[in-house]
Amino acid sequence: MRIIVSGGGTGGHIYPALATVKRLKALEPDTKVLYIGSERGLEGNIVPEAGFDFKSLRVQGFHRSLSLDNFKTIYLFLKATREAKKYLEVFKPDVVVGTGGYVSGPVLYAAQQMGIPTVIHEQNSVVGVTNKFLARKVTKVGVAFPAALPAFKDNLATVVGNPRAQEVVDGQGSFNWDELGLSANVPTVLVFGGSQGAIKINDSMVATLNDFAEKPYQVIFVTGAKRYEDVKQQMIDRKINVAKNIAVVPYISNMPQLMPRVSLVVGRAGATSLAEQTALGKPMILIPSPYVTNDHQTKNARSLASAGAAEMITEDSLSGTTLFATIDQLMTDENKRQIMANAAMKMGVPDAADQFIALIKSVIK
């Protein structure tokens, strides 16, 4: 098989694409892969490091308000489409797959004009602008959440989950609890606000940190490397002495090894995180970021909360008091956590990469 994949800008678009082609290469080593990303996106570093051939295009997004800069966006889109056609003519793919982000627009649009089968993947409950545009002529669509299905024509989209989840499930291994000064045999809650950390989550955790002392469970509080020093200073200012059942760290380098071993996850509602956590069957407290396009994290979180897999705390109602009360209620109620875990497992797709690959293969002529 010869496959071109395109997705970029953020990890939420890049990692599902990489998980898909990594799995495909494992199943069919002779598969040829070309990744087309944007000049400024994270994919420019991540993809070559993963060992895949990479080409870049210059693109930018539309402004939602009237702006002369949108004329530049259209110009760059048309130019990128012409460049993408050249890559397609040389590589001669059997199929072109897009996982979102502005760069996938011209790549898949070019493929559609050339009569090459195209498949898109939508990670969120709310369909992104690029995928809405491409859906008019796309061959097939894979979605992570059933809530996204009504946005597409009948029989066009299939729930396949998020391919990133299969990497996490398959990649489980040992975790060294001694590095955190904690025990492998005590129920654990993991609190994190993403790779960069989240200010409101961090502030709320600092405000309630002392309340977790002497509890019959332990806490891992991941601040994000960028915000670790700020959190440390807040703790000094508040004269907080970290209890022995609490670890405050800037980041966890081997999160896939830790995640299966925690009892409760507290964090944002990004598509990649939710895919991993549902595939592992983790009960969750979700605090969706209100600063993302179309408020899609809130809609993601509501999907899980309505299914009984998560509790949701909105950013404007988040405080040390509400956060501690919600965590403590769940960490002292094992039966409730198990019910939530079962609901999460039902929503998860642990073989998502395999399912998405099957969908991709179904469109190849």
Say whether 124 counts as a known binding-site residue: yes
Question: So what's the pLDDT on residue 63?
Answer: 56
Distance set, CA 260 to CA 263, 337, 339 (Å): 8, 14, 17
Question: So what's the pLDDT on residue 62?
Answer: 62
Question: So what's the pLDDT on residue 65?
Answer: 55
Beta-bridge mates of residue 3: 33, 95
- Is the distance from CB of 63 to CB of 34 less than 8 angstroms? no
SS3 content of the chain, % helix, strand, coil (to 5): 50, 15, 35
Question: So what's the pLDDT on residue 71?
Answer: 72
Distance set, CA 58 to CA 62, 73, 80, 85, 102 (Å): 14, 10, 7, 14, 10
Say whether 252 counts as a known binding-site residue: yes
> What b/e string do you get for 64-94 counting C-beta neighbours within 10 Å, with b at 16 or more?
eeeeeeeeebeebbeebbebbbebbeebebb
Question: So what's the pLDDT on residue 168?
Answer: 77
Question: So what's the pLDDT on residue 70?
Answer: 66
Q: Which CATH number fits domain 170-347: 3.40.50.2000, 3.40.50.300, 1.10.10.10, 3.40.50.12780?
A: 3.40.50.2000
pTM: 0.81
Q: Residue 311 and residue 317: Cα distance in Å, rounded?
A: 13
At residue 102, the 3 state secondary structure works out as: coil
Question: So what's the pLDDT on residue 64?
Answer: 57
Say whether 188 counts as a known binding-site residue: no
Say whether 297 counts as a known binding-site residue: yes
Question: So what's the pLDDT on residue 33?
Answer: 98
Say whether 166 counts as a known binding-site residue: no
Q: Residue 359 and residue 363: Cα distance in Å, rounded?
A: 7
At residue 255, the 3 state secondary structure works out as: helix
Say whether 51 counts as a known binding-site residue: no
Say whether 158 counts as a known binding-site residue: no
Question: So what's the pLDDT on residue 123?
Answer: 92
Residues 6+ apart with CB under 8 A from 347: 278, 303, 304, 307, 309
Question: So what's the pLDDT on residue 272?
Answer: 84
Question: So what's the pLDDT on residue 68?
Answer: 65
Token readout for 10 is: 């953020």
Q: Which CATH number fits domain 2-162+350-361: 3.30.70.1350, 3.20.20.30, 3.30.420.40, 3.40.50.2000?
A: 3.40.50.2000
Question: So what's the pLDDT on residue 147?
Answer: 87
At residue 125, the 3 state secondary structure works out as: coil
Per-residue pLDDT of the chain (365 residues; tens, 9 = 90+): 999 999 988 888 999 999 999 999 999 999 999 999 998 888 999 999 999 999 999 877 665 555 667 677 888 999 999 999 999 999 999 999 999 999 999 999 999 999 999 999 999 888 988 999 999 999 999 999 888 999 999 999 999 999 988 877 876 678 999 999 999 999 999 999 876 779 999 999 999 999 999 999 999 999 998 899 999 999 999 999 999 999 999 999 888 889 999 999 999 998 888 988 998 999 999 999 998 877 889 999 999 999 999 999 999 999 999 999 999 999 999 999 999 999 999 988 889 999 999 999 999 98
According to CATH, where is 3.40.50.2000 located in the chain? 2-162+350-361, 170-347
